[in-house]
A and B are shown apart, each in its own frame.
Chain A
Amino acid sequence: MNLTYTSREQVEVYRFSWPVAIGVPLAALFLQAFIPVHVYFFRAFDLPLLVTIFFGISRRNPITGLSTGAAIGIFQDALSHQPIGLFGIAKTCIGYLASSIGVKLDVDNPGSRFLMTYGFYIVHQMICYALRGMMGESPAWHWGHDLGLALANSLLAVVLFAGLDRFKQRT
Chain B
Amino acid sequence: MESFFGRHKNATVLAAVLFAQLLGLATQIKTQTDRGSVRLVRYWAVAVVTPFEKGLVYTQDGIKRVWTNYIYLRGVRQQNEQLQQQIDQMRIQQVRLQEDADQARRIQALLAFKEQYIAQTVAAQVIGTSGTEQSRIISIDRGSNNGIKTDMAVITPDGIVGKILTVYPTTSQVLEITDPMSGVGAILETSRLMGILKGSPTGLPYLDYVMSDEKVQVGENVVTSGGDGIYPKGFPIGKVASVGPGRDLYLKVPVKPAAALDSLEEVLVITQVVDKSPDTTNLGPIRAADILAQRLPSVPQQKQPAASPVVGEAPATPSAPGAAQPQTKPPAAQPQATPPAKQPQAKPPAAGPDKSKPNQPVAKPKTPVTQSAPPQGPRP
Contacts and interface: CB of A to CB of B under 8 A. Distances in A.
Interface of B: 9-10, 13-14, 17-18, 21-22, 24-25, 28-29, 39, 41-42, 44-46, 48-49, 52-53, 56-57, 126-135, 137-139, 165-166, 173, 175, 179-181, 200-202, 262-265
Q: Which of B44, B56, B128 has most chain A Cβ within 10 Å?
A: B128
Contacts of A37: 57, 126-129, 138, 264-265
A170 to B, nearest CB: 23
Interface stretch (A8-16, A50-58, A69-77): A69-77
Contacts of B138: 37
B28 A79 contact: no
A80 interface: yes
Given A80-B132, A81-B135, A82-B134, A139 B201 contact: yes
B134 A128 contact: yes
B135 A80 contact: yes
A107 B13 CA distance: 24
Contacts of B263: 38, 40
Pairs of residues from A and B, 6 with the lowest C-beta to C-beta distance, nearest first: A78-B45, A80-B135, A32-B131, A40-B262, A85-B25, A80-B130
Given A33-B128, A84-B39, A142 B46 contact: no
Task: Give the size category of A's interface with B.
Answer: 35 or more
A93 B18 contact: yes
Contacts of A117: none
B254 to A, nearest CB: 14
A82 B48 CA distance: 19
A112 B135 CA distance: 30
A163 interface: no
Contacts of B25: 83-86, 89, 131, 135
B177 to A, nearest CB: 14
B29 A136 contact: yes
Contact of B21 (A76, A88, A136): A88
A167 interface: no
A21 B128 CA distance: 24
B301 to A, nearest CB: 46
Contacts of B180: 139
A78 B128 contact: no
Contact of B42 (A26, A29, A66, A84): A84
Nearest to B261: A40
A46 interface: yes
Contact of B49 (A33, A35, A44, A92): A33
A78 B44 contact: yes
Contacts of B13: 62-63, 66
B110 to A, nearest CB: 46
A166 interface: no
Contacts of A87: 132
Interface string A17-50: 0000000001001101111111010111011000
A140 interface: yes
Given A43-B132, A128-B134, A85 B22 contact: yes
Contact of B166 (A30, A42, A81, A88): A81
A62 B14 contact: yes
Contact of A78 (B14, B41, B127): B41
A67 B201 contact: no
Nearest to B139: A33
A80 B201 CA distance: 14
B130 A63 contact: no
Contacts of A89: 18, 21-22, 25
A73 to B, nearest CB: 8
A13 B180 CA distance: 42
B260 to A, nearest CB: 9
Contacts of B39: 78, 84
B126 to A, nearest CB: 6
A93 B130 CA distance: 22
Given A38-B263, A67-B17, A135-B25, 9 more contacts: A33-B129, A34-B56, A62-B14, A63-B10, A84-B42, A85-B22, A88-B21, A96-B10, A140-B201
Given A29-B49, A66-B14, A85 B21 contact: yes
Contact of A92 (B21, B42, B128, B130): B21
B46 A79 contact: yes
Contacts of A139: 180, 201
A80 B132 CA distance: 8
A82 to B, nearest CB: 5
